[in-house]
Amino acid sequence: MDRRVRVRTFGMPAGRAAEDVSAAWPEAELTEAPAHGDPAADEDGDCTAALVWDCAPDRLARFVAAQPLLRWLHTTSSGLPPEVLAALAARGDVTVTNGAGTHGRAVAEHVVAVTLAHLKRLPGLMAAQRTADWRPETARELGGLRAGVVGLGDLGRHTARLLGAFGTEVVGLRRGTAPVPEVGETYGPREWKRFYDGLDLLVVCAPLTGLTRGMVGRRQLALLRPGAFLVNVGRGPVVDEQALIEALPGGRPAGAALDVFATEPLPASSPLWSTPGVLVTPHCADTTAETARRCLRLVLDNIARHRSGLALRNVVDLARGY
């Protein structure tokens, strides 16, 4: 292939990643999108491909709509925001691939880390240390707890596997009803009451779709066991934040670790910053050097496949959004 092609990149890490992508795609004219958005640049409509590490959903949707020659879009995330899906559906001629399989291990470790921090009372112990307060705490163990994982894709399966290694009883809720080996029992959408009933730990790993938006709300939280803990590493709007804030004082759940939010960055005015029992992390559960390497390897493999006319990995079903 010697014909030059124009490729737009969004948030591509400088240094080794940029060098490797350039070397893998020598006929590509790579143009990094300006960090703060340039409508004129996004509307320059002769890009045939786009590689996305990080981009605001509304901006990416505008870019897709303004690029009539676009035929392949790769995103290092697993799910696609509704705005981008709508723009792609209106087109119907763009192959989309995602980063499924690259984030699960890091996210699963984050889930276990924040859950253990809660069970072992680490926030309170660390606060006591700052004031030299010798105050023993009674902790809990992961083994024997009943954990429910919402969404059994890459994130959910890795999380279920790691929790199971601690002796936790793990069940899962997913769109389909086919058994998943990482969990003891799989529930479909119509069985949601049975799934949530009596959970000690609820882990949300689901992508944001029309079906998952707000799916964890008052009715679901009310079914948790008193003293339960919630972790959201999927997408913020999957959990009804207001319902969660109202439920926390009643102990269902008694605490939460949130890595994703309905609005990001989380506004300073949000009560979640200061709600007792809530741990806020800035959407960084998968931010590890190892995740970055896995993402880059997948991008490079798909570039090689694209150049050779081979089937791409991780082609997204636009009807589902992942």
Beta bridge partners of 258: 232, 280
Q: Is 283 annotated as catalytic? A: yes
- Distance between CA atoms of residues 146 and 8, nearest Å: 46
Query: Maximum Cα–Cα distance for the chain, whole Å?
Result: 70
Q: Check residue 251 and give left, alpha or beta (phi > 0: left; psi -120 to 50: alpha).
A: left
Structure tokens at 27: 């006929």
Whether residue 291 contacts residue 102, with contact meaning beta carbons closer than 8 Å, is answered with: yes
CA distances from 160 to 100, 151, 172, 203, 258 (A): 16, 10, 8, 9, 18
Look at residues 92, 48, 56 and name the one whose alpha carbon lies nearest to residue 74.
48
Q: Is 11 left (phi over 0), alpha (psi -120 to 50) or beta?
A: left
Cβ–Cβ < 8 Å for 227, 251: yes
Note if 235 is an active site residue: yes
Q: Is 29 among the residues known to form the active site? A: no
HSE at residue 67, side-chain half, CA atoms within 13 A, is 27
Give the C-alpha separation, 89 to 321, whole Å: 10
CA distances from 35 to 4, 85, 295, 317, 322 (A): 25, 22, 20, 29, 26
Catalytic residue among 62, 118, 158, 235: 235
DSSP H/E element including 203: strand 201-204
| Closest-CA residue to 302 (of 95, 119, 136) | 95
Catalytic residue (choose from 146, 283, 307, 313): 283
Q: Which residues are tagged catalytic?
A: 235, 264, 283
